[in-house]
Each structure stands twice: as structure tokens, then as C-alpha cells.
Structure 1
Amino acid sequence: MATQADHSPGNQNNGRSTTNERRANYNDWLPVTASREAKWWYSAFHNVTAMVGAGVLGLPFAMSQLGWGAGLVAIVVSWAITLYSLWQLVELHEAVPGKRFDRYPELGEEAFGRKYGYWLIMPQQMLVQVASDIVYNVTGAKSLKKTIELLFPHIHHIRQTYYIIFFAALQVVLSQSPNFNSLKGVSLLAAIMSFSYSMIAFVASIVKGTHYHSSSHGVRSHTTAGIVFDALNGMGTIAFAFAGHSVVLEIQATIPSTSEVPSKKPMWKGVIVAYIIVILCYLSVAISGFWAFGHLVEDDVLISLQRPSWLIAAANFMVFIHVIGSYQVFAMPVFDQIESCLVKNLNFTPSTMLRFVARTIYVALVCFVAVCVPFFGGLLGFFGGLVFTSISYFMPCIMWLVMKRPKPWSFHWLASWVSIISIIVGVLIALFAPIGGARQIILQAKTYKLFS
């Protein structure tokens, strides 16, 4: 079993053999490395669950902010770049013979040094995980509320806050799953739901468009400032849609690895299947939603769809089921980080009670933020641009260049130079996209009453 990097500088020289033994014991308890029995198809549906989430429902809205040409180019280019950067992470998982980098911060330590690597990567990854869970909490609540109101029109007075709290209560229960592999059933169901509601959104938008086809497919704003800010938010929304990289190493850590069959082979097989499903869902929803509603499309395309009510209710309920699973996939590395800190650095004894208390507090904090800032579209753009571009777009490329040092004019040398372009684009998005998302939140906040 691979050893895990110790992030406490004071422990580095204290009894190396004892420390290594304790690390192994910790790995047997921590949720990411407790079980290494996953199959390649686990990788497929874990990645689909992580990728095809709330972001796909915001793609028609992003198209309305960017327009046909820029919107489609942004989606396709993002898909290609993130597929390559995901491949880099899969390859780097066992870049050092006899060692596995089971967590993103561990790879950061190898690439940038133990002193700076951990603190460079860990905060970014944790912000991605927590931001995703906040958005999923909001999305799950809105989708369940929409389902109830479509099926029972007389029940419309229940505040969204109560739905957010109900969603969080479900997560408290599911959060007690001991490790990543124990989520395989939940993740598989979530992956099926994500593909299903994407196809319902696609078909329903096509049907809607044939009866009411929007004649306006320009961008939403009419002022220069509005167009610029909307474009930034749209790019951030698309970046959010490719957020699965933050859990790739943790997913691969659950797959067994031998010299004959290293973990990267089954992992990559699952990734390919997942990415085919991803581009199918993304393009179909983005194109059909924008085609049907034009610049009037809502930030969640299912909100724009009203008929047939039973079908849209079913789609919204599928979203609700899906984000329940997605929440857990993104929360598991957070749980791993929290429990690792409590046990290693604060010397707590590993126990079921420790796990229950720590995870419940995390779910409660996420719920509180979701109640205070329940703005789906703005959250996508803000968080997507703030940290998702770094984790998914250019950080894997930088690590590859530092660790692999490809030979000049080789395939990967050329591909790395292409990656440098993605680095530049990613930095620009990371710097400016949150501005568009923040503006979207501010505009929506003007009409929002806290805890309503």
C-alpha cells in the first residue's frame, strides 16, 4: 500500500519507521485509501457523476451570455483541454515507481516540493470541493421544489430554505459512508440520473422549440459592460462544468495497481467512457436549450421548461437524485482531509463518532452558506472561474512539465506547449470570470430576502 505524505513539518524526522507504520494504519481508515477494490467501470460512473452535474443545466444560459460561436467553441475546447489534462493526472498518479499519489495535494508536494506544494494545491482543491457541494445543495433544493410544485400545484408556499435544509439532512445520513468505494451504488444511480435528465432536457427543448422557437439568439446584455461581464460569467459556468479533475486522483486511488496492470489502465478506460457521455450530454443540452429559448433561457434550463409537467417534474427529480450522489463524490476528499488533520495533527483517535461529528459539522456549514446565497447561475460563474480553471485546466499541465520534462519536439513536448496556451487562457479566466459571477450574484441579491 502506498504511503501518504505527512504534512506536518515537525514530524518529518521523528522515528521514520514508526511514522511509516502509523501512516499505513491511517490509510486503512481514511475514506480515500481504505478500499482499493474498484473496477474500471467504477471510474466511468464516478467521473460521470462528478462531471455531468449542475453545470450541464447552466450551459444554455452560458450560451446566451456568449452567443452561438463563442459558446460552442468554449465548450468543445474546454472538453478537449480538460480531457488531456485529466490524462496527465491519470499518468502522474504513479509517476514515481513504487509510489501512488492518492490525493491531489500529494502530487503537488512531489511537483513543487514538500514545503510549498501541499499549501499550493490543498486550498484550491478544497475550495473546489466545498463550492461544488454548496452549488449541489442549492441545485438539489431548487429541483425538489420544482418537482413538488409541478406535481402538486397547490403546494407552492414552502420556502426554498426548507428544501435546502431537507437536502442537507439527507446528506448527514449519506455522509456516514466509510469510504469512496462504499458510494459506488449511490454514484452509479447518480450517473444514470445525470444522463437521463440531460436527455430529457434535450428532447423537451427540441419539442418546445418546434412550437415556440425563439427568434433572438444574441447575447443577453445590450450594453458593453453587460456583455463583458456576462461573457466572463459564461466562461466561468463552462469551467464549472468540467470540475471533475479535483477528485480524479482520489477516484484512481480506489483502483488496485500491480506491475502488470497499473491503475492508470483501468482508470483511463473509465475516463474515456465518461468523457464520451460528457460531450454528448453537454452539446445536446447546450444547443437545444439555447435554440429553444434564446437569450430568455433561465440559468437552470429545466426551470424554463414547463410542459409536459410530469416529464419536467421527473427530470427535476432526477436532478435531485443525481446531486445527492454528486455531493458525496465531492465531499469525500473533504472528509478525508478533515479526518486526516484531526487524527494526524490533532491526535484524535479514529472512530465512528469522530467521523459522525466532523462530517455533520461540514454538511451543516455548507447548508448555511447555501441558505444565505442560493443563486445558481452566479455561483456557477463565480466558483467556476475562481478555482475550477486552476485545478482542471492548467495545474495538471504545470505539474506535467515540472515532473516529466518532455523531450523537445516529441509528441508530449508539443502537447505541453499547447497546454501552455491553456495555462494562459486558464489564468485569464481565473482572474476575470469571478467578476462576472459576483456581478450576477449581486444582481440577484437585490431581490432576494434572506432565508426566504
Structure 2
Amino acid sequence: MAEMLDECKQGEVGLDSRIHIMNDNGEIISSHMHENYSIPDSKQDRNGIDQPLDDWLPITQSRRGNSWTATFHLLCSGIGIQTLSLPLAFVYLGWFWGIMCLSVAFVWQLYTIGLLVSLHESVPGTRFSRYLQLSMAAFGVKVGKIVAIFPVMYLSGGTCVMFIITGGGTMKLFYQLLCGDHCSSKHPLTTTEWFLVFICMAILVSLFCPNLHSAALVSFLGAIMVVGYCTILWVVFVAKGNVEGVVYDPSEAVTSESGRVLSIFGALGIIAVAFRGHNVVLEIQGTMPSIPNRSSSKLMLKGVVGSYLIIAMCFFPLAIVGYWALGNKFPTNGGMLTAISTTLNYHTSKPVLGLIYMQIIISCVTAFQIYSMVVYDNLERAYATRARHECTKLIRNGIRIFFGGLTFFISLAFPFLPTIALITGGISLHLTFGYPCLMWIAIKRPPMKSVKWWLNLGLGCLGIALSVLVLVGAVWTCRGLVSQPRATPARASRDNAGI
């Protein structure tokens, strides 16, 4: 016992991912909590000591997280640039249904997060630290992989591509704002070159974050940035007041009956896509320790409550104030950033606009680390399973550079992805609103036709149906946007750069 305590003080033995049980003789027996994967649970390190595979992978390599780090991760990954388009949903829904749908979506996705947190350690001695693990445990190995692996990897990789396009484009706007018409550079960088600058920054940061827990400080910075620009935007709109002749009539936004119905589906999609991050909730909880008298679920719930109180204070004022200020004149492309740059009433000083741009850039770089960690984890798992040993530092850095290069080239091939964000988000929307409820039924097995059984079955089926409706509405909403020039925000920023 004394020797083990000495080793713990020296950091040679980690108690964060083990269960400690005292037997009848007073001896303490330590054992690893297994991760449910279809690959061997343990290997041997160079000293011949059994070591679980999860000790090698970025998601679960360090289990020293707490409720504070979970809060930072959830804030950084849960608030995105799509939040700035929430008032557009009110344009199609109106005051009552807009607030009602936003409230229902908030409660619904908060409920599904609670389900994921409770399912993390739902099987004794097993931790589901990845969304794919939980899907395989609930639906079976084959079906679980089919229904989850593509949406999870697509959502993680696709979100990183969106960060490159958004962050790189905002870098260009920030540069134009600072330089104005009298820029000393005769050869300004192109949009492609700004994408390259962004991905180089993101990869450089990832090289200093070997695992998800080590990115906690980065997430803390990102959380400050996202809360900062959301707050600044709605405060600016309150200070400036609403525009002259503002109208709050949804019937005037779309004239035809069929268009009005499809625009409602599109509005539901805008609200639903704003709530993201469910594909990294289990991964965030996987960074926490778990012992018999204090499971990771208790720590994670504290982080969820704290983070989503702050998220609510960002989402609701931004949506309500944005719609109050602009009404039906709210820009359909670019959201609040376009409004603050193009609307005469909201011409903003260069320092404030520059601060908003800078916060968006930093938030994209920091959130990139969380979503990319899911891809790193899968690639390193594939390597470690075949090589039968942990990834070397060279291999790990090579994987990060490879993924960064891949997302960079995808961003060049599909620079219009932010315009069709509803379509790309709708494909994986069931990960947020549908699958958690069905997985809870499959693992917990409540009495059939009980209240909980009907509730989760209904929400699960409704979540999958919502994903289909969002796709239909997104195609309609984005049909006219794809043909619009994407340079509108850039031109507006160039016009305001001399202010």
C-alpha cells in the first residue's frame, strides 16, 4: 500500500482510469475500466506491463478532466458561427413560434445530452468514451457502425472544413479592415492563401495538444471568444435600435403557400443546426476520472449545466434582439455579420468590428482542436491496432498534418459549404435529436410501453423525421443562396474599412 502511494506521488501510477476495490483481507485491488471496442482491450508496453489501448489514444490518454474543463470544451464546441443566423428562423416563424421552437429545441437537445452522459457508464466496468462505441453497444457492431461511423466522421471532418472556410474568410475580412484602401501590400493574399494561413495555425496548435484534455486551456480561450462575440453583437443591436420601417410579419417573407411551408422547415433547420456538439460529448466525458464513489457522470453533469446556462444566455438574446432590430430585413446570407457591415444603421467602428472578427478567428482555431481530435483518435486507433504499439510522436504529428492538408483541399474544392450549411448539418442531425433516445432504450431496456419507453421512442423517431424535414427545407432555402455572390460580406467590409 505504501509503495503504491509513493508511486502515485511520483506520477508513475495513474488512478484516473481505474477502479479501486478493497477485498476481505484489506488489500486494495486496482483494475482498468474497459472501453467497449471491437479490438483487444490491452497491449503490453516496453516494460511488459499490460496497458489498455485507450491509454494510447488522444481522447482517453489523460483522464484528469473535471467539471471546469468539461464546461470549457462544451462551450467551445457548442457555440458556432451558425448561431448568428438564428434571427433568420424568426423571420419565417414569427415571434411566438420562433421563441417556442427555440425553447423546445434547447430543452430537447439538453435532454439528449443528459441521456448520453448517463449512458457513458451504463454497463458496469465499461466506459463508452466515444459516440461510435455507444452506437455499437446499442445497435450491435455491424448496425452500429453503419448508422454512426459515417455521420460522426462526416460531422467532425465537415465541421473542421467549415472552420477553415469561415476562419480563413474572416481573416481576409480582418486584414482588409485593418489595411483599408491604402494597404501597403501590393499583392494581398487571396482567399485560398488565407485558408492556408488558417490551417497552418490550426495544425500548429494541434501539435502542442497531444490529447483532448491537454486542449482544455485552448478550449477556455475559445469559450471566452464565442461568448464575447455573441454578447457584443446583441449589445450593439440594442444600442443602435431597430431599423426604420421594420416588419415582423412572416407571411411577407415568403409569398407562396408551398414556399411558406418549406421555409418553416428551413427555419427549424436553422434552429436545430445551431445546437451542435453531441458527437463530442462522450469524448469530453471520457477525459474525466471515474471511481466507485464518484462517477464521471456527476462531474459531467455539472459541466453540462454550467455550460448550457451560458449557451442559453447567448442564443436567446442573440435571436430575439437580432429579429427585433431587423425583422424581415435580416440578411439571408451571412447573418449578423452581414447586417452589422451592410446596414446603414449598424455601421460599427473599426475597433469593435475588428474585435468581433478576431474573436471569430480564434474561436474557429480552438474549436477545430476539439472536432479534429475525434478524427485523430480514429486514425491513431487504426495504426495502434495494426502496429501493436503506441503512435510515436512523429506518426502522431504526421496524422495531424495529413488531416489538416486533407481538410484544406476539401475547403478549396467546396468553398460554398457555409452557404449550404443546413444541408450538410441536416444529414447528421439525428446524432443530436434521434439516436441518443433510441440508444437509451436499447441499453437501459425500460419496460415496454412505459412512459419513458414511449417518450424516448417518440423523440427518437421524431428526431430522425426532423432530419429529413430539415434536408427538404434546406434544399429549398439554399436553392437561391448558392447562386448569390459570396463576396457580399467582403465587399461590405471593404466599404467600411475606411470608416
Superposition TM-score, scaled by structure 2 size: 0.81
Letter in 1 for 2:383: L
Match of 2:420 in 1: 379
Percent identical residues? 28
Query: How far is the alpha carbon of 1:129 from its aligned partner?
Result: 1.1
Distance 1:425 1:312, change over 3 A: farther
Bigger fraction of residues in strand: 2
Match of 1:214 in 2: 246
Answering whether residue 167 of structure 2 is matched by residue 140 of structure 1, we say: yes
1:88, 1:358 → 2: CA distance? 32
Query: How far is the alpha carbon of 1:449 from its aligned partner?
Result: 8.8
Query: How far is the alpha carbon of 1:92 from its aligned partner?
Result: 0.6
Letter in 2 for 1:255: M
1:372, 1:449 → 2: CA distance? 15
Greater shift, 262-271 or 313-322, is seen at 313-322
> Is the Cα–Cα contact under 8 Å of residues 36 and 126 in structure 2 kept in the other structure?
no
Match of 2:24 in 1: none
Match of 1:97 in 2: 124
Answering whether residue 467 of structure 2 is matched by residue 430 of structure 1, we say: yes
Greater shift, 83-92 or 349-358, is seen at 349-358
1:425, 1:73 → 2: CA distance? 17
2:199 to 145, 150, 168: 168
Greater shift, 18-27 or 108-117, is seen at 18-27
Greater shift, 249-258 or 107-116, is seen at 107-116
Distance 1:102 1:440, change over 3 A: same
Match of 2:457 in 1: 420
Match of 2:411 in 1: 370
Q: Any idea what SS the aligned residue of 2:250 has?
A: coil
Match of 2:311 in 1: 278
Deviations 1:333-364 (A, max 9, x none): 11101111222147686112222222222222
2:133 to 83, 106, 112: 106
Q: Any idea what SS the aligned residue of 1:195 has?
A: helix
Query: How far is the alpha carbon of 1:317 from its aligned partner?
Result: 1.4
Superposition TM-score, scaled by structure 1 size: 0.89
Letter in 2 for 1:362: F
Distance 1:69 1:143, change over 3 A: farther
1:242, 1:130 → 2: CA distance? 17
> Is the Cα–Cα contact under 8 Å of residues 212 and 292 in structure 1 kept in the other structure?
no
Bigger fraction of residues in helix: 1
Deviations 1:125-160 (A, max 9, x none): 112212221222222123323333333322597543
Query: How far is the alpha carbon of 1:233 from its aligned partner?
Result: 2.8
Query: How far is the alpha carbon of 1:24 from its aligned partner?
Result: 3.7
2:328, 2:52 → 1: CA distance? 55
Distance 1:257 1:390, change over 3 A: same
1:187 to 200, 213, 219: 219
> Is the Cα–Cα contact under 8 Å of residues 165 and 418 in structure 2 kept in the other structure?
no
Match of 2:361 in 1: 320
Deviations 1:263-306 (A, max 9, x none): 00010001001111111111111111122122332333122113
> Is the Cα–Cα contact under 8 Å of residues 209 and 293 in structure 1 kept in the other structure?
no
Query: How far is the alpha carbon of 1:257 from its aligned partner?
Result: 0.7
Match of 2:432 in 1: 392
Query: How far is the alpha carbon of 1:318 from its aligned partner?
Result: 0.8
> Is the Cα–Cα contact under 8 Å of residues 165 and 411 in structure 2 kept in the other structure?
yes
> Is the Cα–Cα contact under 8 Å of residues 59 and 286 in structure 2 kept in the other structure?
yes
Letter in 2 for 1:2: M
1:225, 1:239 → 2: CA distance? 21
> Is the Cα–Cα contact under 8 Å of residues 91 and 248 in structure 2 kept in the other structure?
no
Match of 1:242 in 2: 275
2:473, 2:123 → 1: CA distance? 40
Structure 1 residue ranges without an equivalent (≥5): none
> Is the Cα–Cα contact under 8 Å of residues 236 and 437 in structure 1 kept in the other structure?
yes
> Is the Cα–Cα contact under 8 Å of residues 58 and 237 in structure 1 kept in the other structure?
yes
Letter in 2 for 1:381: L
Greater shift, 29-38 or 202-211, is seen at 202-211
Query: How far is the alpha carbon of 1:428 from its aligned partner?
Result: 2.0
2:292, 2:197 → 1: CA distance? 47
Query: How far is the alpha carbon of 1:17 from its aligned partner?
Result: 7.2
Query: How far is the alpha carbon of 1:241 from its aligned partner?
Result: 1.5
1:213, 1:175 → 2: CA distance? 48
Letter in 2 for 1:302: L
Letter in 1 for 2:250: G
> Is the Cα–Cα contact under 8 Å of residues 247 and 328 in structure 2 kept in the other structure?
no
Letter in 1 for 2:473: G
Distance 1:435 1:230, change over 3 A: same
Query: How far is the alpha carbon of 1:376 from its aligned partner?
Result: 6.0
Match of 1:56 in 2: 83
Answering whether residue 67 of structure 2 is matched by residue 40 of structure 1, we say: yes
Distance 1:390 1:211, change over 3 A: closer
Answering whether residue 348 of structure 2 is matched by residue 308 of structure 1, we say: yes
> Is the Cα–Cα contact under 8 Å of residues 191 and 322 in structure 1 kept in the other structure?
yes
Query: How far is the alpha carbon of 1:378 from its aligned partner?
Result: 3.4
Match of 2:25 in 1: none
> Is the Cα–Cα contact under 8 Å of residues 92 and 264 in structure 2 kept in the other structure?
yes
Letter in 1 for 2:336: V
> Is the Cα–Cα contact under 8 Å of residues 300 and 376 in structure 1 kept in the other structure?
no
2:426, 2:303 → 1: CA distance? 27
1:368, 1:232 → 2: CA distance? 32
Match of 1:199 in 2: 231
Match of 1:358 in 2: 399
Distance 1:367 1:44, change over 3 A: same
Alpha-carbon RMSD across the aligned residues, in angstroms, is 2.8
Matched length:
441
